[in-house]
Structure 1
Amino acid sequence: LPPEADAARCAADWLAASPSALSSDLEDAPSLLAEADAILRGTTAIFGEPCAVDLPALWHRDPRTGAEWPSEIHFTRFNVFHPARDGVTDIRRLWEVGRFGWALPLARAWRLTGREEYAAAWARFARDFLARNPPEFGPHWLNAMEVALRAVSWARALALLAARPGFSDCAPLLREMLSALLAHGRFVRTHLEWTPYGRTNHYLADLAGLFVLSLFVPQFREADEWRARSLRTLLAEMEIQTDADGFHAEASTAYHRFALELYRLVEKAATAARRPLPAAFGERTARLARVDAALRGAEDLDPRIGDDDSGTLNLLPRDAKATTRNTGEPPLDPRESVALKASGLYVLRSARLSCHVACGPNGQQGVGGHAHNDKLAVVLRADGRPIVVERGTCGYSADPATRDRFRSTAMHSTLALDGLEQSRLRDWRKLADETRARCLTWKDSEAETLFAGEHRGFRPFRARHGRTLRLDKRRHRLLAMDEIEAAGDHRAALFLHLDPSFSPQAVVVRENRVELPGGRFLFEEGLAPELIEVSHSPVYGGRVPALALRLRFAFQGRRRLAWEFQVG
């Protein structure tokens, strides 16, 4: 680290340069002031759950379980991949604390109001973190991504603290924090999460963090190298980690949006520093934005296909349409049907009904780290209301059994065969694709949209599941035909997972008909739908009760099953 004199000079030069805050950090004033006041009272929210901001326990205690993570162990000696076996709880919640996004409202509130108690509280949290989490020791140094995201949060906060004169502790705090940012940048630079294959949003976050630091504190001797390397590599990774449709290549709509946030962060930082980016960067970012808008639709809701760990930088506007820009390509209207053929994601839409269906690769260059057994699964919305939904992720390493349950075939709105998985679940970090899913037909006209697809999973059987979906745009009706083929005698089940807002009293099952707010399902004669209780994960780590429709049947060799959904 630089000596005290160098740190002081760096801080003085940095202040003289008048660093700019990101424009989005001053939006939503009423909401951020409420969050800041709650922190002053001693509480914040982590993944939607209350979390006491008690020092020093905040940094090493699981916000939900109270289990302690050791702070004196070097990061290379931690084992977070089998915490259920090792008696340690989910580290993702602790990492969310260490990312410091929850504390950003304090700096934003100071910038808006000038009340020093906000700035002083942020400074107190930052200093306590530095004192109890020295570089390379403890759970908050386990990977470069966490270090990079924390550095970005600190940079955003410091710009806000310095943007308004009057904070009496500003100069001493800056000297300490700039030294800490230098240590963070050096750690990220020497621990980039590059692998020969299957690179992910982790590597993107590493590079985005380095780029932001290089612009935020150009006085660092390494800043020029960080900036050149990170931008050059980001441009290359945008091609590697984006498919031909413009969809992020981890088979997850949530991670697509997170990658888009990282690229937007780079754009915003470059704009604030008056450093123009290559035109190719903006064009590639815009492609991701148009896909994000098309998938979220006019309702601006994530269909939550694939994993969702609730990670966000809170940089994108609430309205998905505002994330788009001219790319020279035909626009993807969030009110129209969409076919992303390379991604295997299709959206059938009328003015009142939409149906997402997944029929593509598992992503991450075959690793499938964020994919689910969701081939041919559907997500339905009627008049903007979620009807059939994805169940979420719930957790990663802390409980491998729960991890597998939430990405299993039966937890998605598709067909299950003999209790088997579409692709075998062998490692919570991976999901090799054994389905060969593909779209057979896609036709979109003014009157209707037609999708037909198939997959050949369910090993060891040589099975085939085909699904045809026809959306009548005038009647706002979805007609579905499932076909399952497998030699011999089998038992199968069709699952339709309902939004957790539906109570048992609201869902009325009458023989082969199901009525619920927003519409009704009709199944072929002879099949009786059951209403079963399941779990739903609205945010990472959360779990609430929910309902699903299940239709069980036996067949020999081949069976077809017709069903429909009608809005109204």
Structure 2
Amino acid sequence: MSSLWINRIKRATRRRPAEVMRHGWLELKSVSDRFKGSPVSGDPESFLRRKFRKASLDDLWEAIAAQPYPISFRTLAPRSLEEIAPDEANRVRAGAEKAMAYTVDLLGSGDVTLEDPIDWSADFKNAAGWPLSFFRDINVSDQGRESDIKVPWELSRLQWLTPVAQAYLLDRDEKYAAFVKTILESWIEGNPYARGPNWAVTMEPAMRVFTWTWLFHVFSQSEAWKDAGFQTSFLGSLYEHGAFCAKYLENFGTNGNHLTADTGALVFIAEFFPQCEETCRWGETGWRMMISEIFKQVHEDGADFEGSASYHRMVAELFLWPAIYRKMKGKGVPEIYVERLRKMAAFTAAYMAPDGLAPLWGDSDDGRPFIFGGQSPSQHGYLPALIGLALDGAAEMQPPANSAGEILWSLGEEAWAKAEAASAVPPVSAAFPDAGVYVMTSGNSHVVVDCGPVGYGGRGGHGHNDCLSFEARLKGVPVITDSGTYVYTQDIEARNDFRSTAYHSTPQIDGEEINRFTGPEDLFSLLNDGVPEVRTWRTEATADLLIGSHSGYERLSPGLRPVRAIILDKLSSGLIVRDAFEGTGEHDLTIRYHLSIGAALERRKPGLWQLVVGDEEFVLCASPHTEWTAEIRSGSTSEKYGQRVERPVLCFARSGPLAELRVAILPATDLPDDVEGWVNETFSAHAEIN
């Protein structure tokens, strides 16, 4: 425990005074909970009846069940489902049987069969565990051993039970209701209030609120859930979750997805239970803070400020569902709040590829308040339609077909019919200057460039050292991709590697980071060294151009800056990247191109490579190749948290005076005779610079 508090004190020395005071206040508030038990005092059933002014537990249960809920929990007709999504019913039933065999696949674990009863405090991936100590004494990062506290967290979110609930909605088989009841009883018994890792940060009880309230509405009328003892413990535990979230809001001044989840859960608890003074206060507090936070966390251009596509998606859904819940209960939602959510949908529609896949920009741990579909974690194609349908009853663009499950289970068959009938909107190039994200599109080519600030308001958070980095799909195939996340606390060295400059397709000078790490124990902090600068953004019928720079290396030498120009040539579906450097002196320069998984790169002659991705063949040309060395190395990417896969990296390097490098990736068909000459001519024509 001493090392835990030493690390907390170290981190406190790097925080702003106001933030330190907020952490101190949280610590003071927690003192009373060290010595007392649950906020559900006395006999739980009597407490609940008094709190919500009901004559009996049955009255309370039925009052909750009669209230509207923002997520659909109607029975889906298997025949109708088969017509809409032919494989969905089989996917759901197979997932239900897998879950009922206690087999889970969480955070890259692969299929693991858990022991019964489940050890809810264990990291089964690394054979580690945490005691049922007071939550403030739990070492979340636990850097002295190989462990990942996200494993018990993810297990305890109980989203792996979603297929079981969906199977019940299909078949009404009581075995599903009985199994979910057994798991909930096990969780409640194994996780006493404010004790153990699953209460260690407020976001975790908050995330459980979303799942548990939906499970209630799915199973409330089942025979298995009519047990009065279970009803009492379930509702009592949900009340505990609300009380915990209200008392320990993660409000530290500069806030992110944690506070969004905390406040969203308060809104859910307040709308879920019948009105009482306490839950009304929770709901009012949560909603007031959500209105404030959406404008602090989400830029005017619609992008979440944490510098991550995955967290943008998560935060969009966290802001969405409490608003929909309030609307269903006849409560107001400001139009400016709704409009900011629409902008979040528009940003998602821009950054995702035509098939709906999101770039691996920033951290990605695949977290969401609800997960209903079987699409891959990187598939964001459903989100713009989901937001539009939930807010306005209409989808502005047709989502990919694999979005059917997500939208069907969330909003029902009518919503999917509207989504399917929406127009297929062709992608367009777009700039999001607040986030520093620039999207170039032409046909089935799609390039996403990051020329934005480090995430979390300049503090790092879930952002990476990726300024001037980019992802590129050409001719419909991924050619250059980001590296993703891999893991957080399980492997500190890997954590810092995956967010480092070297793991991104961006220039590096003297082996230094764009934004320095604040210390090995701060896995979510970066210094704000690399202030971005966009010098030119232009989109035209024949080409898109971005010229950007940043200040990340000026600490090494006054005026030392990389300047990157990126051109998507729409006539050839080719990509041209020119890296130049401002400043003086001799330096070690490195420019890496992280190629996609499965890409095959073969050198044909100095400065020229054949690149094959899937069924598409490209030529990669570099000039002046005589001034740079080029080496094909092995790198890693993580498309899903907890998993990493090897992929090739083409690394250019030189030592000496500053010099520029031009790299072009062109489809192998209809190549000009003089590729290098064509690249230089095309670049000069579009960039209007030499």
Tell me if both proteins adopt one fold, taking TM over 0.5 as the criterion: yes
Counterpart residue number, 1:378: 470
Counterpart residue number, 2:551: 456
Counterpart residue number, 2:232: 175
Contact 1:265–1:315 at 8 Å: present in 2 too? no
Taking the aligned partners of 1:385 and 1:121, their CA distance within structure 2 comes to: 43
Counterpart residue number, 2:676: none
Counterpart residue number, 2:95: 35
Offset, 1:120:
1.1
Counterpart residue number, 1:347: 439
After the TM superposition, which residues 109-508 of structure 1 pair with which residues of structure 2 at under 5 Å, given as runs? 109-162=167-220, 164-167=221-224, 169=226, 171-196=228-253, 198-313=254-369, 314=371, 318-323=381-386, 325=388, 335-426=427-518, 427-458=522-553, 459-462=555-558, 463-502=560-599, 506-508=600-602
Taking the aligned partners of 1:22 and 1:385, their CA distance within structure 2 comes to: 37
Counterpart residue number, 1:513: 608
Decide which moves more: 89-98 or 170-179: 170-179
Taking the aligned partners of 1:117 and 1:134, their CA distance within structure 2 comes to: 27
Q: Kindly provide the CA deviation profile for residues 356-397 of structure 1, in whole angstroms up to 9, marking residues without a partner as x.
A: 111111132221211111110110112332211111112223
Query: Structure 1 residues 479, 38: CA separation in 2 closer, same or farther (over 3 Å shift)?
Result: same
Counterpart residue type for residue 363 of structure 2: D
Match of 2:114 among 12, 37, 53: 53
Offset, 1:219:
4.6
- Segments of 5+ residues of structure 1 without an aligned counterpart are none
Decide which moves more: 430-439 or 278-287: 278-287
Counterpart residue type for residue 235 of structure 2: L
Q: Kindly provide the CA deviation profile for residues 169-222 of structure 1, in whole angstroms up to 9, marking residues without a partner as x.
A: 4554322211100011000000000012x2111000000011011111125542
Contact 1:409–1:422 at 8 Å: present in 2 too? yes
Secondary structure of 2:643's aligned partner: coil
Query: Structure 1 residues 158, 523: CA separation in 2 closer, same or farther (over 3 Å shift)?
Result: same
Contact 2:101–2:113 at 8 Å: present in 1 too? no
Q: Kindly provide the CA deviation profile for residues 118-176 of structure 1, in whole angstroms up to 9, marking residues without a partner as x.
A: 111111111111111100100000111101111211111111002x5444645543222
Counterpart residue type for residue 455 of structure 1: H
Contact 1:270–1:277 at 8 Å: present in 2 too? yes
Counterpart residue number, 1:84: 143
Contact 1:293–1:334 at 8 Å: present in 2 too? no
Query: Structure 1 residues 335, 64: CA separation in 2 closer, same or farther (over 3 Å shift)?
Result: same
Contact 2:474–2:574 at 8 Å: present in 1 too? no
Taking the aligned partners of 2:137 and 2:268, their CA distance within structure 1 comes to: 29
Taking the aligned partners of 2:387 and 2:646, their CA distance within structure 1 comes to: 36
Offset, 1:439:
0.6
Offset, 1:486:
4.3
- Segments of 5+ residues of structure 2 without an aligned counterpart are 1-39, 50-55, 77-87, 374-379, 398-424, 669-690
Contact 2:126–2:148 at 8 Å: present in 1 too? no
Secondary structure of 2:280's aligned partner: helix
Offset, 1:510:
2.0
Counterpart residue number, 2:653: 552
Taking the aligned partners of 1:168 and 1:401, their CA distance within structure 2 comes to: 47
Q: Kindly provide the CA deviation profile for residues 297-342 of structure 1, in whole angstroms up to 9, marking residues without a partner as x.
A: 32211112111122123269743441454999xx997611111111
Contact 1:300–1:320 at 8 Å: present in 2 too? no
Contact 2:341–2:387 at 8 Å: present in 1 too? no
Taking the aligned partners of 2:437 and 2:383, their CA distance within structure 1 comes to: 18
Contact 1:414–1:494 at 8 Å: present in 2 too? yes
TM-score (norm 2): 0.76
Secondary structure of 2:585's aligned partner: strand
Contact 2:621–2:663 at 8 Å: present in 1 too? yes
Counterpart residue number, 1:12: 59
Taking the aligned partners of 2:57 and 2:381, their CA distance within structure 1 comes to: 37
Query: Structure 1 residues 281, 218: CA separation in 2 closer, same or farther (over 3 Å shift)?
Result: farther
Decide which moves more: 515-524 or 315-324: 315-324
Counterpart residue number, 2:663: 563
Identical positions, percent: 28
Decide which moves more: 453-462 or 127-136: 453-462
TM-score (norm 1): 0.92
Secondary structure of 1:537's aligned partner: strand
Taking the aligned partners of 2:513 and 2:447, their CA distance within structure 1 comes to: 23
Taking the aligned partners of 1:25 and 1:305, their CA distance within structure 2 comes to: 34
Counterpart residue type for residue 160 of structure 2: W
Counterpart residue type for residue 319 of structure 1: Y
Counterpart residue type for residue 93 of structure 2: L
Offset, 1:11:
4.8
Contact 1:295–1:334 at 8 Å: present in 2 too? no
Counterpart residue number, 2:19: none
Query: Structure 1 residues 244, 22: CA separation in 2 closer, same or farther (over 3 Å shift)?
Result: closer
Taking the aligned partners of 1:414 and 1:168, their CA distance within structure 2 comes to: 55
Offset, 1:535:
1.8
Secondary structure of 2:660's aligned partner: strand
Counterpart residue number, 2:134: 74
Contact 1:466–1:484 at 8 Å: present in 2 too? yes
Offset, 1:50:
1.9
Q: Kindly provide the CA deviation profile for residues 18-57 of structure 1, in whole angstroms up to 9, marking residues without a partner as x.
A: 2445445678543222211101122021024223232334
Contact 2:465–2:515 at 8 Å: present in 1 too? yes
Taking the aligned partners of 1:25 and 1:58, their CA distance within structure 2 comes to: 30
Offset, 1:277:
2.8
Contact 2:177–2:222 at 8 Å: present in 1 too? no
Offset, 1:466:
0.4
Query: Structure 1 residues 428, 443: CA separation in 2 closer, same or farther (over 3 Å shift)?
Result: same
Offset, 1:481:
0.7
Taking the aligned partners of 1:112 and 1:275, their CA distance within structure 2 comes to: 32
Query: Structure 1 residues 497, 279: CA separation in 2 closer, same or farther (over 3 Å shift)?
Result: same
